[in-house]
Amino acid sequence: MTDAEIIRLYQQRDEKAVQETKQQYESLCMTIAYNILGTREDAEECFDDALMHLWHAIPPAEPESLGAFLVTAVRNAARDRLAYANAKRRGGGQLTVAIDELKDCFQSPEHPDRMLDSIALRDAFRRFLPTLSPAARMIFLRRYWLCLTAKEVAAETGCSVGRVNMSLLRTRKKLKTFLEKEELL
């Protein structure tokens, strides 16, 4: 089924929408939640929470991309769970590692994950991402939005882990320079 067909099922309050969503997006969502939290059980709960959020959000929401809408819900649920558990690095999730890699690009290294949600920074990211080459953008987003490890990004992109790490390093430097020019750093 297409995203539009699944969204239509949600709008009709047809429970088949949840089954179709699971079939198409469970693997991706579980990977994201697992990489943030570090445990399968927590990842499953976050995915279930995101499905519940989707059920309640549509309607009235009409997302352009069901996948992006769901991934955002999963990511938010996982971040909330991580904050709740206040994991002082408990669980070893990839979100903590990814945020630590980006800490030099933000004013508040104690809470860079909160900065990611600020409107000004979000707008800056929207302007920054198109300045990257498609390959660098894909690597950056897979690492820092989907919270995949460098090894997982390398496997998905067909690059070596070294090339992924070098691309991420260069992109972080570009991001820092960009944010300084935007006076956000």
Q: How far apart are CA 69 and CA 183, in angstroms?
A: 30
Asked if 3-85 and 94-181 have one fold, the answer is no
Q: How far apart are CA 52 and CA 4, in angstroms?
A: 18
Q: Provide the residue ranges of all domains of the chain, joining segments of one domain with +.
A: 3-85, 94-181
Taking only the tens place, the pLDDT of each residue in 50-86 is: 999 999 998 888 888 898 899 989 988 888 887 766 5
Pick the CATH number of 94-181 from 2.130.10.10, 1.20.1250.20, 1.10.10.10, 3.30.2000.20: 1.10.10.10
Under the banding of pLDDT at 50, 70 and 90, the label for residue 142 is confident
Pick the CATH number of 3-85 from 3.40.50.720, 1.10.1740.10, 3.40.50.980, 3.40.1180.10: 1.10.1740.10
Q: Going by C-beta distance under 8 Å and a sequence separation of 6 or more, which residues neighbour residue 92?
A: 38
Per DSSP, the three-state class of 2 is coil
Give the pair of three-digit tokens for residue 130: 């198109």
Report which DSSP code applies to 88: T
